[in-house]
Amino acid sequence: MPAAGNARGADTLAGTEDMRPRSVMSRLAPWLVGAVILGVYAPVLVELGRDWWRDSNYSHGILIPPIVFFLVWRQRRQLAGLPLRPAWLGLVGIVGAAALLILGAAGAEVFTQRVSFVAMLLSSVLFLLGWRRLRRLWFPIAFLLLAIPLPYVLYYSLTAPMQAFAAKCAVLGLKIIGVPVMAQGNILHLPGDKTLEVVEACSGIRSLYTFLALGALMAYLMPIAFFGRAMVFLATIPLSIAANAFRLWSTAVGAHLIGMHVATGVFHEAFGFVVFVVALALFFLIRKGAQSLWRSAS
């Protein structure tokens, strides 16, 4: 009998020792996979960081990784309390993300490679941690997409109509207040041989992309229904476009009344910043109103 008891004790101890390595590996697996992903995508991420630094249209991208880290960190206790249930469907996503990376590298298409990185993160979370953790982490990871510069084809397909729209709004606004103006495409001819050109930088794509990122973050943090958050996020699009049209119109008015120097240099940049701040204040008012509306409706 003692021998049998010792045998059972030995089996129990062996079972505990067998369980311990698996527990350690299950904890280390996400970190190991994360290190491998960072190693594989290191060239892609380095070039992405250079684009943030070089291209003012996407300079807001520098702030997005720290925000993502914060969004994940603030949920650390909730995530730790969720059961670990890996989903094999994530492996399909990992294979698909790897295929996107290979195709992007073969075609020298950096946008595809960068999207592949986000897809790889989402799929790895699903494969290693399961659906419940993915439901909590999908937004912080998907938020990285708003730090990725648009492909040139899409970028120029957006800037051209946005330039034309801003020019038309400026012409209409000038005529309403009685300022004679003649439009020649994206070039505005004002009295006194003054000419303003609505260049690519005046299309508003920079403020639009920044507002989209800010709107997505603010809407995500709102404690209201998904529909309400979606409406707040979508409100950033017309608000950004209207702010850019107003900036162009007011610049034209200033050039007509004061001089062409208001359309260039420090004054131009400062006024653009003021318009952005005003538009930002309006967005927060919209957010506050939506939050009050949906809370009262519930």
Q: What pLDDT digit, counting tens, does each position of 21-61 carry?
A: 445 656 677 778 878 888 999 999 999 999 999 888 888 99
Q: What are phi and psi of 179, to 5 degrees?
A: -95, 120
Compute the CA torsion angle 66, 69, 70, 75 (nearest 10 deg): 170
Least confident of 27-31, 48-52, 214-218, 224-228: 27-31
d(CA 217, CA 99): 30
Name every residue whose Cβ is closer than 8 Å to that of residue 210 and which is 6 or more positions away in sequence: 60
Encode burial over 76-111: b for 16+ CB neighbours within 10 A, e otherwise.
eeeeeeeeeebbeebeebbeebeebbeebeeeeebb
Placement of tokens 């609505």 in the chain? 198
Name every residue whose Cβ is closer than 8 Å to that of residue 238 and which is 6 or more positions away in sequence: none
Placement of tokens 């995500």 in the chain? 220
Q: Write down the pLDDT at residue 2.
A: 44
In the structure encoding, which two tokens stand for residue 118, read together?
Answer: 């986000």
d(CA 66, CA 28): 23
Determine what percent of the chain is predicted with pLDDT higher than 90.
42
Furthest CA-CA distance within the chain:
111
Q: Are residues 74 and 107 in contact, defined by beta-carbon separation less than 8 angstroms? A: no
Q: Write down the pLDDT at residue 12.
A: 41
Q: SS3 letters for 140-203? A: HHHHHHHHCCCCHHHHHHHHHHHHHHHHHHHHHHHHHCCCCCEEECCEEEECCCEEEECCHHHC
Q: Write down the pLDDT at residue 24.
A: 60
State in Å, rounded, how far the first CA of the chain is from the last one: 67
Neighbours of 137 (CB within 10 A): 20
In degrees, rounded to 5, the angle at the alpha carbon of residue 140 between the alpha carbons of residues 139 and 145 is 85
Cα–Cα distances in Å, from 22 out to 10, 15, 133?
A: 19, 11, 20
SS3 259: coil
Q: Write down the pLDDT at residue 297.
A: 54
Give Cα 41 to chain centroid, integer Å: 19
pLDDT at 201 over 80: no
Least confident of 114-118, 227-231, 264-268: 264-268
Nearest to 100 by CA among 80, 90, 114: 114
Least confident of 2-6, 36-40, 268-272: 2-6
Cα–Cα distances in Å, from 109 out to 20, 44, 112?
A: 45, 11, 6
